[in-house]
Amino acid sequence: MDRQKLLLLLLVVVAVGYGGDWAYRTWIEEPFRLQESVQTKAEKTQSDIHDRTIRAKTLVRELPGFEDRSLPANSLMARQAYQAWCWQWIKRHDIANPTVEVSEPRPRSLTKTNKKDQVPDMHEIGVTIRGVAALQVVVDLLADFHETKFLHRIDALSLTPVNQGRQLSITISVSALSLKTATQTDRLPGQSTGNVNLVQDEQASSELNAASVNAEPNTLINANIPAVANSETSRDDIAEASPPANLNDSVATNPPVVVEPAPPTAEVIERPWHEVVRRNMFAAGGGMTIAKAVKLSAITEDIKGVKQAWFRNTQQGPTQVVDLGQTFNQGALSAQVMELNDEHAILQIDGDQVRVQIGQVIADGVALVRAGKL
């Protein structure tokens, strides 16, 4: 009997223990965990609202500038006008085999909403541009894009060397925005009223150029005559200067076309980004490639006391000894020895001075900044 009572007592204790643990987990721990989870979500939501509020205040202050730079509020007109601008942008540069792919405008909203009839805050237009050009052209193309005031940006840029690095195959992905509160409704920012449809203007310009090329010589000469009449010289002055042509006269009897002298060539202005072109790292066999293989191996003096720099190509070729003031040429690399010290040499490469230590390849040299140079 005592043993049975002891077993029953143990069973009761075990049951009470399990029951108490279940009750604690169900009625105390679980509600507390749920409450803590709800509180964490509420705090996160509050923090997100706070961040969005600060961001919204910042956007409100910057909104007028965005509205002035935005594409037209009409998304279809924005797509059409921006596509034409992209073609104009490419035609200003020497891009071979250019292509422009423009996606349909995608609606974007700053806040989440379930209203189907709500007008989106903006439309995003994606553009992919492809072509082949030299590095100089690519750099100028990107600089031209950077100077525009449209509400757009370059999302991705791919440069693939072709023709042993003499040219680059480029792929540019651009995103442009059309705000519903844009200042312009039917044209790009800064575009005149008389040039609303850029696509039609592009087509008309192309047709006009094709017609002028295929036209006969007589047609070209006669087409230039009205330009003289519209210049500063009046029609009466032209009539006095040349007698009227008879019907039987040849085209050569028509009034001569006044050709104004071409304006003087503008001074070439050095831009900071031109440094990228001088140090072309895409060219195979170019100056930068050779500079990575040429090492300054020693600095000595000859029997006359003239300092000399010893250059050795780590890949092939004998060591070349260059006197102070002389020029070292190897392939596309040309470097003039400007100064020689016990431990380093100062070379002038493409107008820049580079300090190279003994045992260091030229490409690892330190460019010296000259006063007054950007």
- Tokens encoding 151: 């509400």
Distance CA 135, CA 284 (A): 13
For 138, other C-beta atoms within 10 Å of its C-beta total 23
Threshold 0.75, pTM exceeds? no
Query: How remote is the C-alpha of 318 from its chain's centroid?
Result: 43
Task: Check residue 271 and give its pLDDT.
Answer: 61
- Tokens encoding 200: 């039609």
Query: Residue ranges of the domains in the chain?
Result: 1-65, 75-109+120-188+197-205, 215-253, 279-368
142-184, pLDDT tens digit by residue? 989 988 889 999 999 998 888 766 788 999 999 999 988 888 8
Q: In the beta sheet, which residues pair with residue 176?
A: 125, 152
Find where tokens 């190279």 sit: 356
Ramachandran area for residue 351 (φ above 0: left; ψ -120 to 50: alpha; else beta) = left
3-state secondary structure (DSSP) of residue 131 = strand
46-82, pLDDT tens digit by residue? 888 888 778 777 766 767 778 888 899 888 999 999 9
**Class of the CATH domain delimited by 75-109+120-188+197-205:** alpha beta
Distance CA 90, CA 118 (A): 37
221-261, pLDDT tens digit by residue? 333 333 333 333 444 443 444 444 443 443 334 444 444 44
Among 128, 141, 132, smallest CA distance to 165 is for 132
Residue 262's contacts (CB-CB under 8 Å, 6 or more residues apart) are none
Residue 299 one-letter amino acid: I
